[in-house]
Structure 1
Amino acid sequence: MTRASDRMTTEPAPVSAPVLRERRWYPYLLIGPSMIMLVVVSLVPFLYAVYLSFHAAKFGRVTDFIGFDNYAALLADPRFWNSIGVAATFVVIAVPIEFMLGLTGALVLNQNVRGRSLLIPLLFMPTMMAPIVVGLLWKIMLAGSWGFLSYNVLERFDILPGTSVFASPDYALYALIFVDIWQWTPFMMLAFFAGLQALPLGPYRAAAVDGANPLQMFFHITLPLMTPLLAVIGLLRFIDAFKVFDTIYILTGGGPGISTETPSILANKMTFEFWNIGEASALAVLVWIAFFAFCSVFYQIAKKKLNAF
C-alpha cells in the first residue's frame, strides 16, 4: 500500500492568488514594450496625419478646420488618379512575375541542386541590398549610352539610342518594374523554398505508392499545403510593391513628367515641394483605408476558401 506521506509528496502544491495574478499578466508584460513602441512610432503619427487631413495645413502652418475639403480636392486631382494607375500597373506586372519566378526557382532548389548551400546566399544578395544601393546600381547600369547594359544591349540593338531608358516616358516604368523583379524575386524564392522544406513527406510517399506523377503531386499536394504561405507572402509583397518609394525616387524621381509617379512619390512631393501637408495627409489616409478594406476582404476570402489563416 502507498503511504499517506507518499501521496502527499506527489500532489501539486496549491498556487497562491498573487502567483495566479502574476501568471495572468506575464504575457502582457512581455508584449508591453513592443506595443508601446508601435503606439509611439506608428499610431500617434497616423492619428496626427488624420488630424492634419481635416485642416488647412500649408507651408508648415496648421490653421482652420476644413472638413473633407482636402479629400475632395485630392479626389478631383488627375495627378492623384495617375499615381494610382502607375502603382496599379507596377503591382499588376511585377508581383505576379516575382511570384511565378520565385515559386519556380523554389521548386528547382528543392530538387537537391548541387552547390545549393553556396547558391542560396548568392541569390539573396539583391534582397539584402539597401534600396538606395539598388537604385544607384541600376542607374549606372542603364545610364545613357555609357551604362553597362545601355551600351551592350540597348545601343547595339538600336533601342533608345543616345538616352537613358529612365528618361523615356514609355519605358521608364517598365525599367523600374524590371529592377523590382530583380531585387525581390530572390526573396519570394527563398520564402517559398523554406515552405517546401517544411512540408511533410508522408503524403508524397503515399502518392508515389498510388502511382501519382510529379505534376499530380504538385497540384494535389504541394499547392494545397503551400496555400497559406503563398497567400501571406503574396499579400505582403503586394502591399510593399504598391508603397515602393526608394528605388523610384533614386532612379526617376517620378519622371519623366509624372509617368512613374506613385502615391508615395506624390505624397513626398506634396509635402516637401508643394508644402501642401493637408492634402498629403489625406492621400496617406485614403491609401490606408484602401489597404485596410482590401486586406480585410482578402483575409476573409483566404480564411474561408483557402484555409490560409
Structure 2
Amino acid sequence: MSVISDTAVAPARERRRSGRGVWYPYLLIAPTMITLLLVSLVPFVYAIYLSFHKAKYGRVGDFIGFDNYAKLLADPQFWNSLKVAGLFVGIAVPIEFMIGLGGALILNSGVRGRSVLVPLLFIPTMMAPVVVGLLWKIMLAGSWGLISYNLLERFGWLGDQSIFASPDLALYALMFVDIWQWSPFMMLAFFAGLQALPLGPYRAAAVDGASTLRVFFKITLPMMVPLLAVIGLLRLIDAFKVFDTIFILTGGGPGVATQSPSVLAYKMTFEFWNIGEASALAVLVWAAFFVFCNVFYQIAKKKLNAF
C-alpha cells in the first residue's frame, strides 16, 4: 500500500518542485485571457478615456470632463435611439421567447419528423445578419419584392414604397425579421433544456393523475427557470445592441425611426467623426447594462434560484 502511495505522490511532488503544477493551468488559459485583454478590455478603457476628451475628426484634444456626456444627454437623437431599442426589445424578445418555448414543448412531445425539423430550424440562426438583411430587403422591396408584391400590395396593405421606407412600419418590419431569425434559436435552446429534465417527477405526476397544465406549471416550468432566465437575458442584451440587420435594411431610417444606439454610435463615429460623444454613448450603454445585469442576477438568484 505504501509503495502505491509513494508511486502516485512522486510525480505530483516532482511537478510541485519544478513549479509546473502551479503555473500549468495559467499557461493553458493565457492565450484566451491575452486575446480578451487586447480585443476587449484595452479598447473599452481607451473608449472611457476618449469620452472625457474632445475627440473629433480623428484627433484627441483636451480633457473636457463630462461635457460629452452632457451633450449626449441633451441630444434628442440619443433618447430616440433608446426608445427605438426599448420598443424593439420589449416587443421582439417576448414574442421570440413565447414562440421558442411553445415550439420546444411541441418538439418535446414527440412530433413526427423531428429529426428532419430540428436541423432545418438551425438555418435562420446560422445565417449571417448581413445575409439575413439582404434576403429580407429583397423579399420586402418596393413593388417587386416576393412578399411585398404577392401579399402586401395585392391585399392593399402597402403602396408602391417599401415597408422599410414607412416611418410607422419600418421598425415593426425589423422586429419581424429578428423574430424570424432568432425564434428558432430560442426554440432549440429550450428544447435541449426540456430533453435534459429528469423523468422521475413526471412519472410521479402521472401516477397521481396530474393534468398536463398542472405538470407544466408545477414541474416543467420551475425546473426550466434557470435556463429560461439565462437565455432570456442573453437574447435581451443581443437584441438591444442589434446593428447589422438595421444597418442593411434601413440604415436607421426613414429619418430616425429605426435608429438604435448602435446605429447612432456608428453615425457619430464614421459620419460626423464625433468620436468623444460616441465613446460617451458606448460607456453609458455599458454602464446601464452593467447595473441591469447585476440587478437581474440578484433577483434571479434569490427569487428564482436561477444561478
Say whether the fold is shared (TM-score over 0.5).
yes
Q: 1:12 to 1:18 in 2, by over 3 A?
A: closer
Q: 1:18 to 1:11 in 2, by over 3 A?
A: closer
- 1:251 pairs, out of 235, 249, 252, with 249
How many Å apart are 1:52 and its aligned residue? 0.5
Alpha-carbon RMSD: 1.1
Which residue does the alignment assign to 1:279?
Answer: 277
Aligned-partner residue type, residue 282 of structure 2 = A
How many Å apart are 1:12 and its aligned residue? 4.3
Which residue does the alignment assign to 1:242?
Answer: 240
Q: Distance in 2 between matches of 1:192 and 1:98?
A: 12
How many Å apart are 1:156 and its aligned residue? 1.3
Aligned-partner residue type, residue 140 of structure 1 = I
Which residue does the alignment assign to 2:111?
Answer: 113
Which residue does the alignment assign to 1:265?
Answer: 263
Which residue does the alignment assign to 2:77?
Answer: 79
Which residue does the alignment assign to 2:218?
Answer: 220
Q: Distance in 2 between matches of 1:259 and 1:137?
A: 21
Q: Distance in 1 between matches of 2:6 and 2:101?
A: 52
Q: How many residues are treated as equivalent by the alignment?
A: 303
TM-score, normalised via structure 2 length: 0.96
Aligned-partner residue type, residue 170 of structure 2 = A
- 1:11 pairs, out of 5, 23, 26, with 5
How many Å apart are 1:208 and its aligned residue? 0.7
Which aligned runs of 4 or more in structure 1 are off by greater than 6 angstroms? none
Listed as ranges, the gaps of 5+ residues in structure 1 are 1-6
Listed as ranges, the gaps of 5+ residues in structure 2 are none
Aligned-partner residue type, residue 258 of structure 1 = V
Q: 1:217 to 1:12 in 2, by over 3 A?
A: farther
Q: Distance in 2 between matches of 1:35 and 1:11?
A: 37
Q: Distance in 2 between matches of 1:95 and 1:29?
A: 40
Which residue does the alignment assign to 1:154?
Answer: 152
Which residue does the alignment assign to 2:90?
Answer: 92
- 1:36 pairs, out of 14, 34, 37, with 34
- 1:183 pairs, out of 171, 174, 181, with 181
- Which SS does the other structure have where 1:124 is aligned? helix
- Which SS does the other structure have where 2:259 is aligned? coil
How many Å apart are 1:18 and its aligned residue? 5.0
Q: Distance in 1 between matches of 2:135 and 2:234?
A: 25
How many Å apart are 1:19 and its aligned residue? 2.0
Question: What does 1:112-151 correspond to in 2, within 5 Å?
Answer: 112-151=110-149
Which residue does the alignment assign to 1:3?
Answer: none
TM-score, normalised via structure 1 length: 0.96
How many Å apart are 1:78 and its aligned residue? 0.5
